[in-house]
Structure 1
Amino acid sequence: MRNAARSSLDAAWQALKLRLGACLLPAQCALCGMGCAEVLCPPCRAQYLGQLRPRCRLCANPLDDAAKLCGRCLRQRPAYDATITAFDYAAPVDQLLLQLKFGARLALAPLLAQLLYVAIQQQSDWERPQLLCPVPLGPARLAERGFNQALEIARPLARLLQLPLQPRLALRLRETRAQSGVAPQERQANLAHAFAIAPDYVALLQGCHVGIVDDVMSSGHTVNALAAACKGAGAGKVSILAVARTPPR
């Protein structure tokens, strides 16, 4: 019990130091480094963000035409029912997520939430979830990093959308290797039985439309595994709200 308490205190202290560091950062654009009053300067925002492109309505992969579904989703429908993303995970805007996740620039989380909110507002056929759930981290990774980047994005996004946030709804049952370090053919197996719904929230999920929030959606196996866990516990619909989408290679 002492070790667990000490680990929890260490994680809390680490998170506090990261938050203080983020607040003390100089006012400069996160992309070009020029001085500005906001986290992202207007020229960078106009040049790199806010440009709509055709995407698969299920997985948000870019499409070359006006087709609503990509070939992959037509062949095998995922467990989730829709995906919205703010931008492609590519240079230079990928630095916004890298700085948040690995540089602990938590001041970027509200910006990323706002960009995702704008993308959501641009979807005329978007169906509003009843609650938001961030993709959970395992205890070891949470203690190591000091924060969950998906939760940091989900908090301001929930306020913008005026939706309840349920950060304890989903449980990560076991530590998994980072998907970026796993061979593509092994990624689905890496996440097998990785998520479950907390027993206290099962009643809340019955017939519910859940919005799963994540920072980056790559192969889609992570959000698919969590969506399957939600539906297995009784959710009626699951939408993915991912800040960035890695284009297929």
Structure 2
Amino acid sequence: MSGRAQARLGPRVASALGGLADALLPSACALCAGGTGASGSPVCQACTQQFLTARGARCRCCANPLGAADTGMRCGACLADAPAYDATVAAGGYASPLDQLVLRLKFGGALALAPWCARALREAVLATPGFALPELLCPVPLGPARLSERGYNQALEIARPLSALLGIALHPRLALRRIDTPAQSGATAQERKKNMRHAFLVAPDMLARVRGRHIGVVDDVMTSGHTLNALAATLKRFGAARVSNLVFARTPPP
């Protein structure tokens, strides 16, 4: 089924039809085009091992790569200018070939990739020493125009299965995007930061769920971190005690 067809049908119907197709047709790995066996996974075990299992040291705050001797530490940038969020876990790096999977999920309607991303993210969360699980999950929201255009929120599509895998409650509308910000892809770091000013708010009926809680923010990709920082700052302004980012892929620093 094409990505456009999936987007027109909606995520739930497309997921059900995709599951039926997987049961009736042989599956090919989205990365190497080899068989995935009876697992029904869009990515074979060999590719998963190759591109996701070997995780190097990362800053515990922003998840940028560190030297092996600095495992569990904060990077110099986070020490010099601490972001609003407290921790970040990334399943992998936003580089070839994983970046192509993200693009297919984000812009091509390949919703079958979302549960696989969630499983990879769960493994990364459980493998991170000393990481405290959030009390609830919140996907990075899309603005109304972007959501209408795309037909789904890729962050929410990852957050749904991740919620079930980790046993953490998901609140899809805990945070709202108050303005339709320009697309962040292709923007400079300063443009990204400016775009995200005053972009988010906490839904009025969710205020009691935010106060004093540890909130896990789910997204597909973390690039400059300005979007996640703006959302974390908003959550903390409304009383969140701690904010951790759970992202499938982290873009390496320039």
Report the TM-score when normalising by structure 2: 0.89
What is the Cα deviation at residue 181 of structure 1? Answer: 2.6
What is the Cα deviation at residue 49 of structure 1? Answer: 1.5
Matched residue pairs, number?
239
Instruction: Check the 8 A contact 1:18/1:104 in 2, yes or no.
Output: no
Alignment match, 1:35:
35
Unaligned regions of 5+ residues in structure 2, if any? 1-6
What is the distance in 2 between the residues matched to 1:20 and 1:104? 14
What is the distance in 1 between the residues matched to 2:236 and 2:8? 32
What is the Cα deviation at residue 35 of structure 1? Answer: 2.5
What is the distance in 2 between the residues matched to 1:146 and 1:15? 8
Amino acid at match of 2:166: L
What is the distance in 2 between the residues matched to 1:14 and 1:166? 19
What is the distance in 2 between the residues matched to 1:130 and 1:240? 13
What is the Cα deviation at residue 15 of structure 1? Answer: 4.5
Q: Give structure 1 regions of 4+ aligned residues with deviation exceeding 6 angstroms.
A: none
Q: Give CA deviations for 1:24-69 in whole Å, capped at 9, x if unaligned.
A: 4751101011222331112212221211211000000001243211
| Counterparts in 2 of 1:16 and 1:112: CA distance versus 1, 3 Å | closer
Q: Give CA deviations for 1:70-96 in whole Å, capped at 9, x if unaligned.
A: 111011000000000000000012122
Instruction: Check the 8 A contact 1:89/1:247 in 2, yes or no.
Output: yes
Instruction: Check the 8 A contact 2:11/2:111 in 1, yes or no.
Output: no
| Counterparts in 2 of 1:175 and 1:135: CA distance versus 1, 3 Å | same
Alignment match, 1:82:
87
1:147-166 alignment, distance < 5 Å: 147-166=152-171
1:1-249 alignment, distance < 5 Å: 13-15=9-11, 18-19=14-15, 22-23=18-19, 24=21, 27-37=27-37, 38-67=41-70, 68-249=73-254
Instruction: Check the 8 A contact 2:101/2:113 in 1, yes or no.
Output: yes
**Secondary structure of 2:101's aligned partner:** helix
Instruction: Check the 8 A contact 2:56/2:68 in 1, yes or no.
Output: no
Percent identical pairs in the alignment equals 54
| Counterparts in 2 of 1:15 and 1:111: CA distance versus 1, 3 Å | closer
Instruction: Check the 8 A contact 1:22/1:104 in 2, yes or no.
Output: no
**Secondary structure of 2:111's aligned partner:** coil
What is the distance in 1 between the residues matched to 2:30 and 2:49? 14
Unaligned regions of 5+ residues in structure 1, if any? 1-10
What is the distance in 2 between the residues matched to 1:121 and 1:86? 11
Q: Give CA deviations for 1:120-158 in whole Å, capped at 9, x if unaligned.
A: 111120111110000000011111111000000000000
